Amino acid sequence: MGFELDAFDVFVLAAMAAMLVLVCLEAKRHNDRMQTHGARVQGVIVRNKIQWGRIMTVRPIVRFTTRDGQTVEALSEHGLAFAIPRYSEGATVTVVYNQENPNEFDIL
């Protein structure tokens, strides 16, 4: 009952590993850019959105006001999605956002 990989299996595994590395590098680049150039403000979790697919995920919708007074309410799409809410409705969170595009933000 041996475990053997043919050339196609090795290719598929290598391609998957390469995609994982690229995704991780892009996430790191995004996080570094936000930490370096982003503005920090307080926000409030308005609600949690359940998304159904192969698996169920819950992502928070946050409302915050930018430093120049613009109110943003949007779904947090960066970071990990979980099957249970990370934040309760009404929770205060720290948000870092791109000052040129406030819809690009992270919850810290």
Element (H, E) at 56: none
Mean pLDDT of 73-99: 86
pLDDT above 90 covers what percent of the chain?
40
pLDDT per position as a tens digit, 31-77 = 777 788 889 999 999 999 988 878 888 889 999 999 999 999 999 88
Q: What angle do CA 24, 81, 63 make, to 5 degrees?
A: 110
* Three-state DSSP string of the chain: CCCCCCHHHHHHHHHHHHHHHHHHHHHHHHHHHHHHHCEEEEEEEEEEEEECCCCCEEEEEEEEECCCCCEEEEECCCCCCECCCCCCCCCEEEEEEECCEEEEEEEC
**pTM of this structure:** 0.70
